[in-house]
Amino acid sequence: MSTVSTATRPTGIPVRRPNVDLAQADIERWIVPGDPLFSHLLAALSAVFPNGEDFFVESVRNYRSKVEDDPEMKARVKGFIGQEAMHGREHRAFNVRLAELGYPTVALDRDILRSARRLQRLPKPVQLAITSASEHFTSVLARAVLTDEQTRRTLFPAPDGELLITWHALEELEHKDVAFDLLQTVSRSYVLRMLGLFLAAVGFGRVVAVGYARGVLADHQYLSRSALRRNRHNFRHQQMVGPRSWLAIAGYIRPGFHPRHIDTDALVVEWRERLGPALTPNRISSGAM
Ligand SMILES: [Fe+2]
Ligand SMILES: [Fe+2]
């Protein structure tokens, strides 16, 4: 249960960026030390974010005119677009560094672009439903990262990597319900919402899985017994990947589901404060719509 009173409930969807050059991020060959399997998984996720988030932005931007007369929703949509555009930009920089270290981020970036373009041929409500489902997925991961210190210590031990992920996670929670609420104004169809979930898994999830498998295969010579042991250990010491997350993701199937039923206000308040000095406010939000 949240400990945040109504008076201190976090408001607004501000756009900011980390105060570091992520193209020069100080990280090791294995993002997760001694663990090629988790390292490739995190690299694959980072690789698909830029084009994936461009898709989210476009699917929401399609409905700009619909929120024109609703100042509150208009501001939320604007914040969503500004934050996601900035996530894409910073992950692009980080992916340059990952490519330098040997991760196949360039090929994955191309694959996800191809997949996003195919999804963009679908009717606009379906595209928005895909974004709404994907936003639920990212907010589940974000909550695991921000609530559990052991997850952060295990998966993001380098300060630059931790800053990128905690900043991104904080903002995913700040705008977690924007695409969902917008979808509700377009259509309340349960079938459409489920179609979005299915297509998000097929269109984006599949690319991550295939890209991950390709990266691991290319580095199979590093999968020593000790690396596998380290992976098993890490798996037990993190909450981002595992049954708890799968269950939370499956919550989206519930007919009465709404992202706000999962209370993350206290987390947002806490992390706004913790990350404040490491972030720069950005004016990209003005006119980003
Ligand atoms: Fe994002
Ligand atoms: Fe998002």
Nearest ligand by distance to the CA of 165: 1
Confidence at 8, pLDDT banded by 50, 70, 90: low
Ligand 2 centroid from CA 31, angstroms: 23
Domain membership of residue 65 (yes or no) is yes
Q: What is the DSSP letter of 25?
A: -
Q: Is residue 163 domain-resident?
A: yes
Among all bound ligands, the one having the nearest atom to the CA of 80 is 2
Please state the pTM of the whole predicted model.
0.93
Quote the ligand 2 centre to 225 CA distance (angstroms). Answer: 37
Of residues 196, 201, 226, the one with CA closest to residue 122: 196
Residues 36-77 have pLDDT tens digits of 999 999 999 999 999 999 999 999 999 999 999 999 999 999
Bridge partner residues of 281 (DSSP): 16
Residue 206 lies in a domain: yes
Host domain of residue 95: 30-277
pLDDT at 281: 86
| Residues with Cβ–ion distance below 5 A, ligand 1 | 84, 87
Residue 58 lies in a domain: yes
Is residue 178 a part of any domain in this protein?
yes
Q: Cα(284) to centroid of ligand 1, in Å?
A: 15
Q: Which stretches within the chain are classed as H helix? A: 36-61, 71-100, 105-119, 124-147, 149-155, 159-174, 178-186, 190-200, 206-218, 225-236, 243-250, 265-275
DSSP state of 255: T
Q: What is the pLDDT of residue 287?
A: 40
Task: Report CA(280)–ligand 1 centroid distance (Å).
Answer: 17
Ligand nearest to the CA of 174: 2
Q: How far is residue 36's CA from residue 25's CA, in Å, rounded to a whole number? A: 18
Domain-located, residue 3: no
DSSP assignment string, 77-122: HHHHHHHHHHHHHHHHHHHHHHHHTT--HHHHHHHHHHHHHHHTTS
> What are the residues whose beta carbons fall under 8 Å from the beta carbon of 69, sequence distance 6 or more?
none
Q: What are phi and psi of 176, to 5 degrees?
A: -60, -25
For residues 207 and 111, the answer to whether their CB atoms sit within 8 Å is: yes
> What is the CATH number for 82?
1.10.620
In-domain check, residue 24: no
Residue 252: other Cβ atoms inside 10 A: 20
CA separation for the pair 134, 249 (Å, rounded): 10
Ligand 2 centroid distance, CA of 134 (Å):
8
Our count of domains for the chain comes to 1
For residue 288, pLDDT over 80 is answered with: no
Residue 125: pLDDT band with limits 50, 70, 90:
very high
CA separation for the pair 234, 158 (Å, rounded): 15
d(CA 245, CA 239): 7
Domain membership flag for residue 106: yes
